[in-house]
Chains A and B, each alone.
Chain A
Amino acid sequence: MADRSALTRRGLFRGIGSATVVASCTRTHPGTATNTPSTDAALSPGEIGPSPSRLSFELNGKAVQVDVEPRTTLLDALRVDLDTTGTKKVCDRGACSACTVLVDGVQRNSCMMLAHDVEGRTVTTVEGLADDGHLTVLQRKFVEHDALQCGFCTSGMLMSCSALLQRTAGRGSALSKEEVQDAIKGNLCRCGTYPHVIAAVLDASKERA
């Protein structure tokens, strides 16, 4: 029988994936990377596929390259090819927001995007929130408020709420409950953590204000 520790599902995927992390480990902030092409690189004329072709983008501050087919979703490229499994796949149809990531700072459903859509762009997943192992205020508030149970929706919740805090960053006042409710309207939580999530985000916004 095969050695179980050697044959984990993740390890198997890693074995067959073709991802390479090419750049240094210095953390860059979204949009400030100097080694990424212009944000319009994803739109330059040409044909891609149907066989795998090279895709380059910035993932959580690192330049990454991966060979993927046009039909590979961003979600599958992240989870299967790049082993960034913090982003979860639940419905795979845009209906639950578990797969939410930030693309150039904007929250998107990675299951409804193609991987090649992010050519030259900056992608932030839940792994990219903490800075060098230091949790963000929002992440700490999630822990303090017990804002998760099974945790399957949590990375998506964190990304939607991080996007909300980022786009209201200049405001200098705390968020309202309605604003938080609106921001997580697409995030489904089977365990019903909504009240705790809302409390955590409100608390994080107070700390900021």
Chain B
Amino acid sequence: MNPFTLVRLPTLDAARERVSAEPQRRTFRAGGIDLLDRMKEGLDAPDELIELHAIAGEHGARMRGIAATEDGGWRIGALVTLGQLAGYDDLPPAYGAIKDAAGNAATPSIRNGATVGGNLLQRPRCWYFRHSDLLCLKKGGYECLAVSGDNRFNAILGGGPSFIVHPSSLGSAVVALDAKVTIAGESGLRTIPADQLFAPPTVDPTREHTLAPGEVLVSVDLPPALPGQRSAYHFAKEKQSQDWPLAEASVRCTVEGGVIQDLRVALGHVAPIPWRSKEAEDVLEGAAPSAEVFAKAAQAALSVAEPLEGNAYKVPLAQGVLRYALHFATSTPLPA
């Protein structure tokens, strides 16, 4: 790693101003898992790491806490670790998808350092991006090297011009749960729908999110649970022990009078952003839960897939993962 200065400032504004003054040289550090990885690899060499964990006072408390909000929702601070979120028993089961996503990401010890904010804002894992000798589209090069290279782990949905998959396991869960995120910027705090945090590569292939340099993600805000709300997260990995997911699905819904309502479906690790599937939602909204209709919805969700040469296997895999998530969210028995 390059030499750097660790900067601990006690207020959110001081930290924000420090980075926005010189974002090329300065960057935030939360758990530092993704940041140190990139610095060790030589992809980034900031002169100053501004420690988000040093922020004290009201903002610090908000960033570190999980709390019920006045409107009946829940707020998860950006500095809450994945381990804290996964073990937080008071979070109502209606939001189970985000807890399960946190509890299945990475490893037990990584989860004790990795934060919710850092997880949503981590950079992609594509091996061409992560290799310091290769200049891919994400690093200002001319092409996405995955297109003609080994693309077994790359996008099957929404790809182009970059074919990364969004690396965050919390991503599909926050989108399915219709969460918002609160961001601290120059003009104070603002709250936007979580899906607007993620930027498709068509906008700017070198970035995955919409925060301006120096802006801080403060919290993930879960809306009040709908009456009878259920949610589920499911994934497939190559190994049973720690591994990056090949496909993930998060589902939120209610089941009223025997039919599915208020459905939101999002897929993870299949597209450059957490992928909302309106196709699946259209098939299922108002339908009675059954293995048959779930299979149809999964087919619809992946009907728009455009796999690359080496990752067509992810199409049936993602269908299966989504079907499981739908069964779990609606407590529908799995087919024999």
* A49 & B3 in contact (Cβ 8 Å cutoff): yes
In the bound complex, what is the Cα–Cα distance between A163 and B112 (angstroms)? 12
A106-B112, A186-B242 known; A49 and B5 CB under 8 Å? yes
Beyond A43-B53, A49-B3, is A183–B33 a contact (Cβ under 8 Å)?
no
Closest to A167 in B: B87
- For the A-B complex, the count of residue pairs with Cβ-Cβ distances under 8 Å equals 97
Most A CB within 10 A of own CB, among B37, B108, B112 = B108
A45 with B241, Cβ < 8 A, contacts A71-B1, A93-B37 known: no
A131 at the interface (CB under 8 A from B): no
The answer to whether B40 has its CB under 8 Å from any CB of chain A is yes
Residues of B close to A112: CB separation below 8 A = 32-33, 36-37, 110, 113
Q: Can you list 21 residue pairs at the A/B interface with Cβ under 8 Å? A: A45-B8, A45-B54, A69-B3, A70-B4, A70-B49, A71-B1, A71-B2, A93-B40, A94-B33, A106-B112, A107-B108, A109-B113, A112-B33, A113-B113, A114-B36, A160-B108, A160-B109, A185-B107, A186-B108, A186-B241, A186-B242
Cα distance A91–B2 when bound, in Å? 19
Chain B residue numbers with a CB within 8 Å of A92 are 40
A50-B5, A114-B6 given. 18 additional CB < 8 A pairs? A43-B8, A46-B8, A47-B7, A48-B6, A49-B6, A70-B49, A95-B107, A97-B109, A106-B112, A107-B112, A109-B109, A112-B110, A113-B113, A160-B109, A185-B108, A185-B242, A186-B109, A186-B241
Residues of A within 8 A of B (CB-CB), count: 37
A3 near B: Cβ within 8 Å? Answer: no
**Is B10 among interface residues, defined by CB-CB distance under 8 A?**
yes
A154 in the interface, Cβ–Cβ < 8 Å? no
User: Which residues of A sit under 8 angstroms from B110, Cβ to Cβ?
Assistant: 94, 109, 112, 186
Residues in B with CB closer than 8 Å to A108 are 109, 112-113
Q: Are the C-beta atoms of A49 and B4 separated by less than 8 Å?
A: yes
Whether, in the assembled complex, B126 has its beta carbon less than 8 Å from a beta carbon of chain A, the answer is no
Q: For chain B, residues 3 to 24, give those with C-beta under 8 angstroms from any C-beta of chain A.
A: 3-10
- Pick the most buried of B32, B49, B54, B113: most chain A CB atoms within 10 A of its CB: B113
When the two chains form their complex, are residues B112 and A45 in contact, meaning their CB atoms are under 8 A apart?
Answer: no
CA distance A181 to B47 in the complex (A): 40
Write out the residue numbers on chain B whose beta carbons fall within 8 Å of the beta carbon of A45. 8-10, 54
Among B4, B6, B37, max chain A CB count under 10 A is at: B6
Determine the residue in chain B with the shortest Cβ distance to A182: B108
Q: Is the CB of A50 within 8 A of B113?
A: no
Residues of A within 8 A of B47 (CB): 50
